[in-house]
C-alpha cells in the first residue's frame, strides 16, 4: 500500500519567464481539481498563490508558494515560482527538491531570456520537464515557431503531443496527437471538455505532427523503433509509457498548448503530469555523503528507510512563528518526534506538521517519503540543512545561492526602532539566502544587499509594513567585490606587550586567486605543531572576517585561496585573539602586495525593439560600456543581446521608454563579475 502511495505522488513546479502565466495556470489547476471553487486572477490580486500584500499590489509572484491537489488517484504537490530574475533564489531552492517541472512559454514571446535561465537551473538539478505553450489565444501567437525556438535555443529533443485548433483568429481547441482526437471546451470556465473527430482541415497537419512525434520517440528508443519499422500497431499506452520513460531520463521534453487565462488546455497539463512526470519512487534512492567516513552513500526512497529530508525554505508566520519547508526523501516523521540536523549537529523537536495551501495551513499528524510539508518548532535549522536519523547519517548536497549585486543603506529613525530593525533584517535574511545584511564599521550604517532593485524594494517594504519599523533608506548602490591577481607569500604578525601578559600571533600564508564564484577558501598545511591545533580555527576566522572588507574601498573580498603554511607561537602570550588578529593583518598585507583589483557585476541584457529604433538603442547601449553579443530578427522586431555593467543600467527602463516612445522592452539578469576599468575605478574611489 505504501509503495502504491508513492507511485501516485507527483512533486512538480511551474517555472517560466516573468508574465508567462505560471500563477494563472496554477490557479486553474486548483480550480479544476476542486481545491478552490472560484477562479482567482493575478491582475485582480485574487490569485491563491500570490497571497503576500506586495504580490497583490504588483501583480507578480515574489515568493514560491506550495500547495497541493488531487487529480483522480494522484496526489500532486505544486510549487508556483516567481518569474522575475530578482527572485531567482526561489526557483533555485524549489528545483532542488522537485521531481518534475512544467516549463511555461508564452505563445507570442517564445523562448525568452528568463525561460533559458530557468531551463538551465532545471538542467543543473536534472529535473524532468514538460513544456506548455501558453497564451495561444493572443494575436501573434505561433505554437510551431516556439517549438522551433526551443530546439534552436535550448538544444533539446522535443515534439508536440498536441496542436492548436483555430477558427479564423480564434483559438477554439486542441488536437490530441496520441489519441487522434480533437478537444473542445464548451463553456466559459472550460469545465465541459468534449472529444470529437479531428476536423478535415486539420487531418493532414495532425498526421504529420503525429509522425514527427513517433519519429522522435523512435530515435530515442530501440524497442519502439523496431515496432515502427516492422509496421506493428502502436497503442496509446505504449506511446505514453515511451514518452514517460524518456522524460524521466531527461532525454525528451513533450510540448502541450493552451491558454490558461481563457481556461483551455489546463486539464491536459494535469493528465500529462500524471502520465509523464516521475513519482518519488522513480528516483529510487537519494544520495549524499556520510560525514563520519566521507564516503558516498544512498538511502532507498521508502517510508521503511531511515529518515532523510532537506529544509529548502524558512518563512516567518506572524501567528505560528518560523515555518520550515522540507522535502522528505525517506522515512516518516510524526508530531513530537525528534530529528537530527546533521548540518549543525543539533537535535530538533517537531511540535507541529503542516500541509500548506499557499498561506493556509492544515495540521496533520505525520508525513512520509515523497511529501513536501512544513515543520514547526525548530530552533537552529536554516535553508539547505539536512535532517536525518542520528543512527543513519547522510549529508545531502547543499543548495548554492547567487551572490547579491545591489546594496542600500537602511537606518532606524529613532533608537526605539533600532532593535526592531535588527530583528526584522535578521528574520528576512533567515528566509532569503540571497538577501544579505552587513554592518559598515567605517560609516556606522546597516547595509542590505539583494539580487536587484525590485528585490530590495520588496524587502524594505516588508520591514516597514510587516515589522512596523520607521527607517530611512539610502540610494541603491552596486555591490562591488575585491580580489587578487597573482600568487604571493605573506606574513601576518601581531605582537603586543602591556606590562602583564602580552599578545603574540604569527602566521605565514600563501594567497592565490581562484576562479570566479569560489569565494574564500582556507587550507591548513601546518605540520609538526608550529601552531597549536586550538589556534587554527581562530586563524581561519581571522581570514573570513578580514575578507569582509578589502583594502580598496572596503568592498568584500572574493575568489581567494589562503593556505596556512607556517608561523610561530609563544607559550604564554599566544591566544585565540592574537592569532585571529595576526590572520587579519596577514590578509590585508597580502591584498596590498598581490595587486588587488575591484570587480563589478556584469549583466546579460536583452532589448526587444521595433526596427526603426534599433540605431538609437545601439548608440545608447554603446555609451554604457556594453559589449553587444548579438542582434537578431523576430517577426517585425529586432532583438539585441549585450553584456553591460550593472552600474550603467540603473533606471534603464525610463531611458528605454523615452528612446523608443514606450514601444521597446528589456530583460536583465546577472552574468558574471569582471575587473573594473582603471578610469572608472578612480571615479568610484574619488582618486
Q: What are residue 672's DSSP bridge partners?
A: 602
Query: What are the grid coordinates assigned to 592, written together?
Result: 596590498
In sequence order, which ranges of 98-198 are alpha helices (DSSP H)? 113-124, 143-154
Tell me the residue ranges of DSSP E strands in 7-120: 9-16, 65-71, 74-80, 100-106
Q: What share of the chain is helix, strand, coil (3-state, %, to 5)?
A: 30, 35, 35
pLDDT at residue 477, as a whole number: 80
pLDDT greater at residue 231 or residue 25:
25
Q: What element of type H or E holds 579? A: helix 576-593
pLDDT of residue 303 exceeding 60, the answer is yes
pLDDT of residue 150 exceeding 50, the answer is yes
Q: How far apart are CA 453 and CA 56, in angstroms?
A: 19
Q: What are residue 523's DSSP bridge partners?
A: 563
Residue-wise pLDDT tens digits, 610-634: 888 899 999 999 999 999 998 888 7
Neighbour tally for 485: CB within 10 Å: 10
pLDDT of residue 542 exceeding 90, the answer is yes
pLDDT of residue 405 exceeding 80, the answer is no
Residue-wise pLDDT tens digits, 29-52: 988 998 877 665 655 555 555 556
**C-beta of residue 390 within 8 angstroms of C-beta of residue 81:** no
pLDDT greater at residue 105 or residue 398:
105
Q: How far apart are CA 641 and CA 630, in angstroms?
A: 5
Beta strands at 9-16 and 181-185: parallel, antiparallel or unpaired: unpaired
Query: What are the grid coordinates assigned to 228, written together?
Result: 515502427
**C-beta of residue 342 within 8 angstroms of C-beta of residue 384:** no
**C-beta of residue 450 within 8 angstroms of C-beta of residue 434:** yes
pLDDT at residue 53, as a whole number: 64
Q: What are residue 165's DSSP bridge partners?
A: 173
What 3-state DSSP class applies to 300?
Answer: strand
Lowest mean pLDDT among 33-42, 67-76, 233-242, 638-647: 33-42
**Angle subtended at Cα 531 by Cα 527 and Cα 534, rounded to the nearest 5 degrees:** 110
pLDDT of residue 429 exceeding 70, the answer is yes
DSSP type of residue 561? E
- The residue among 421, 343, 352 whose CA lies nearest residue 380 is 343
Q: Stretch 568-596: mean pLDDT, rounded?
A: 90
**C-beta of residue 471 within 8 angstroms of C-beta of residue 459:** no
pLDDT of residue 441 exceeding 90, the answer is no
Residue-wise pLDDT tens digits, 175-184: 999 999 999 9
pLDDT greater at residue 243 or residue 186:
243
Neighbour tally for 40: CB within 10 Å: 20
Q: How far apart are CA 671 and CA 185, in angstroms?
A: 43
pLDDT of residue 439 exceeding 90, the answer is no
pLDDT of residue 362 exceeding 60, the answer is yes
- The residue among 271, 219, 206, 278 whose CA lies nearest residue 244 is 278
Residue pointed to by grid coordinates 535532517: 387
pLDDT of residue 1 exceeding 50, the answer is no
pLDDT of residue 500 exceeding 90, the answer is no
DSSP type of residue 231? T
Query: What are the grid coordinates assigned to 299, written together?
Result: 538511502
pLDDT of residue 224 exceeding 50, the answer is yes
Q: How far apart are CA 450 and CA 408, in angstroms?
A: 9
pLDDT at residue 250, as a whole number: 93
Cβ-count burial of 444 within 10 angstroms (0-12 exposed, 13-18 middle, 19+ buried)? exposed
- The residue among 408, 409, 405, 421 whose CA lies nearest residue 445 is 409
Task: Kindly indicate the confidence band of residue 242, based on its pLDDT and cuts at 50, 70 and 90.
Answer: very high
Alpha carbon 215 to chain centroid, angstroms: 35
Cβ-count burial of 79 within 10 angstroms (0-12 exposed, 13-18 middle, 19+ buried)? buried
Q: How far apart are CA 55 and CA 23, in angstroms?
A: 11
Backbone angles phi, psi at 469, to 5 degrees: -100, 135
Q: How far apart are CA 519 and CA 82, in angstroms?
A: 27
In sequence order, which ranges of 138-252 are alpha helices (DSSP H)? 143-154, 200-220, 222-229, 236-248
Q: Stretch 635-659: mean pLDDT, rounded?
A: 84
Residue-wise pLDDT tens digits, 125-144: 899 999 999 999 998 899 99
Q: Stretch 566-592: mean pLDDT, rounded?
A: 90
> Angle, to 10 degrees, between the axis of helix 266-276 and the axis of helix 236-248?
70
pLDDT greater at residue 662 or residue 122:
122
Q: How far apart are CA 212 and CA 181, in angstroms?
A: 17
Q: How far apart are CA 548 and CA 560, in angstroms?
A: 12
Q: What contacts 27, CB < 8 A, 6 or more positions away?
A: 36, 39, 40, 41, 42, 47, 48, 49, 260
Q: How far apart are CA 292 and CA 395, in angstroms?
A: 10
Q: Stretch 142-162: mean pLDDT, rounded?
A: 93
Average pLDDT, the chain: 87
Q: What is the 3-state secondary structure (H, E, C) of 342-369?
A: CCCCEEEECCEEEEEECCEEEEECEEEC
What 3-state DSSP class applies to 631?
Answer: strand
pLDDT at residue 447, as a whole number: 84
Please give the span between the terminal C-alpha atoms of the chain, in angstroms, as a whole number. 73
Q: Stretch 340-367: mean pLDDT, rounded?
A: 88
Amino acid at each position: 500500500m505504501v509503495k502504491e502511495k508513492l507511485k501516485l505522488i507527483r512533486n512538480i513546479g511551474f517555472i517560466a519567464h516573468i508574465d508567462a502565466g505560471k500563477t494563472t495556470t496554477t490557479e486553474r489547476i486548483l480550480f479544476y481539481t476542486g481545491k478552490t471553487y472560484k477562479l482567482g486572477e493575478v491582475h485582480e490580486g485574487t490569485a491563491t498563490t500570490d497571497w503576500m500584500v506586495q504580490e497583490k499590489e504588483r501583480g507578480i509572484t515574489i515568493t514560491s508558494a506550495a500547495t497541493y491537489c488531487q487529480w483522480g488517484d494522484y496526489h500532486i504537490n505544486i510549487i508556483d515560482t516567481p518569474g522575475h530574475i530578482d527572485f531567482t533564489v526561489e526557483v533555485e531552492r524549489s528545483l532542488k527538491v522537485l521531481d518534475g517541472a512544467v516549463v511555461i512559454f508564452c505563445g507570442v514571446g517564445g523562448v525568452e531570456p528568463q525561460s533559458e535561465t530557468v531551463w538551465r537551473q532545471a538542467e543543473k538539478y536534472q529535473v524532468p520537464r514538460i513544456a506548455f505553450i501558453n497564451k495561444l489565444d493572443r494575436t501573434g501567437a505561433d505554437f510551431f515557431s516556439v517549438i522551433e525556438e526551443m530546439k534552436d535555443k535550448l538544444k533539446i529533443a522535443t515534439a508536440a503531443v498536441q496542436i492548436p485548433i483555430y477558427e479564423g483568429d480564434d483559438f477554439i481547441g486542441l488536437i490530441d496527437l496520441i489519441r487522434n482526437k480533437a478537444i473542445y471546451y464548451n463553456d466559459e470556465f472550460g469545465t465541459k471538455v468534449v472529444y470529437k473527430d479531428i476536423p478535415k482541415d486539420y487531418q493532414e497537419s495532425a498526421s504529420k505532427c503525429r509522425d514527427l512525434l513517433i519519429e522522435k520517440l523512435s530515435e530515442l528508443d530501440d524497442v519502439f523503433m523496431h515496432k515502427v519499422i516492422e509496421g506493428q500497431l502502436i497503442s496509446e499506452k505504449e506511446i505514453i509509457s515511451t514518452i514517460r520513460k524518456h522524460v524521466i531520463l531527461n532525454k525528451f521534453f513533450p510540448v502541450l498548448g493552451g491558454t490558461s487565462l481563457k481556461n483551455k488546455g489546463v486539464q491536459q497539463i494535469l493528465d500529462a503530469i500524471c502520465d509523464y512526470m516521475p513519482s518519488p519512487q522513480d528516483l529510487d534512492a537519494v544520495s549524499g555523503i556520510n560525514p563520519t567516513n566521507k564516503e558516498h552513500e544512498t538511502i532507498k526512497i521508502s517510508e521503511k528507510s531511515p529518515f532523510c529530508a532537506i529544509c529548502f525554505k524558512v518563512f516567518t508566520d506572524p501567528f505560528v512563528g518560523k515555518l520550515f519547508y522540507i522535502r522528505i526523501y525517506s522515512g516518516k516523521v510524526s508530531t513530537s518526534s525528534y530529528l537530527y540536523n546533521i548540518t549543525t549537529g543539533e537535535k530538533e523537536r517537531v511540535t507541529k506538521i503542516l500541509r500548506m495551501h499557499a498561506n493556509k495551513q492544515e495540521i496533520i499528524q505525520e508525513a512520509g517519503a515523497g511529501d513536501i510539508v512544513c515543520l514547526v518548532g525548530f530552533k537552529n535549522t536554516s535553508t539547505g540543512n539536512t535532517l536525518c536519523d542520528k543512527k543513519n547519517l547522510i549529508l545531502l548536497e547543499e543548495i548554492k545561492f547567487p551572490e547579491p549585486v545591489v546594496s542600500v543603506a537602511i537606518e532606524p529613525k529613532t533608537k526605539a526602532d533600532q532593535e526592531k530593525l535588527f530583528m526584522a533584517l535578521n528574520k528576512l535574511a533567515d528566509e532569503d539566502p540571497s538577501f544579505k545584511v552587513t554592518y559598515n564599521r567605517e560609516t556606522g550604517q546597516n547595509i542590505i544587499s539583494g539580487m536587484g532593485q525590485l528585490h530590495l524594494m520588496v524587502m524594505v517594504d516588508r520591514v516597514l509594513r510587516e515589522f512596523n519599523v520607521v527607517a530611512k533608506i539610502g540610494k541603491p548602490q552596486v555591490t562591488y567585490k575585491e580580489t587578487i591577481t597573482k600568487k604571493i607569500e605573506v606574513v601576518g604578525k601581531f605582537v603586543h606587550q602591556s606590562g602583564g601578559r602580552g599578545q603574540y600571533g604569527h602566521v605565514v600564508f600563501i594567497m592565490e586567486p581562484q576562479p570566479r564564484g569560489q569565494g574564500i577558501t582556507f587550507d591548513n598545511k601546518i605540520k609538526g605543531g608550529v601552531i597549536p591545533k586550538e589556534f587554527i580555527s581562530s586563524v581561519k576566522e581571522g581570514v573570513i572576517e578580514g575578507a569582509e572588507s578589502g583594502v580598496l574601498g572596503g568592498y568584500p573580498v572574493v575568489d581567494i585561496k589562503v593556505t596556512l603554511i607556517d608561523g610561530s607561537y609563544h607559550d604564554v602570550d599566544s591566544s585565540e585573539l592574537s592569532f585571529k588578529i595576526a590572520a587579519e593583518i596577514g590578509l590585508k598585507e597580502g591584498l596590498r602586495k598581490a595587486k588587488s583589483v575591484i570587480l563589478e557585476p556584469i549583466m546579460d541584457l536583452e532589448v526587444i525593439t521595433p526596427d526603426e529604433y534599433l540605431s538609437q538603442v545601439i548608440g545608447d547601449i554603446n555609451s554604457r560600456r556594453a559589449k553587444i553579443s548579438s542582434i537578431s530578427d523576430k517577426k517585425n522586431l529586432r532583438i539585441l543581446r549585450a553584456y553591460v555593467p550593472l552600474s550603467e543600467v540603473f533606471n534603464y527602463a525610463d531611458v528605454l521608454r523615452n528612446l523608443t516612445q514606450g514601444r521597446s522592452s528589456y530583460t536583465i539578469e546577472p552574468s558574471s563579475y569582471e575587473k573594473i576599468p582603471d578610469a572608472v575605478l578612480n571615479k568610484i574611489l574619488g582618486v
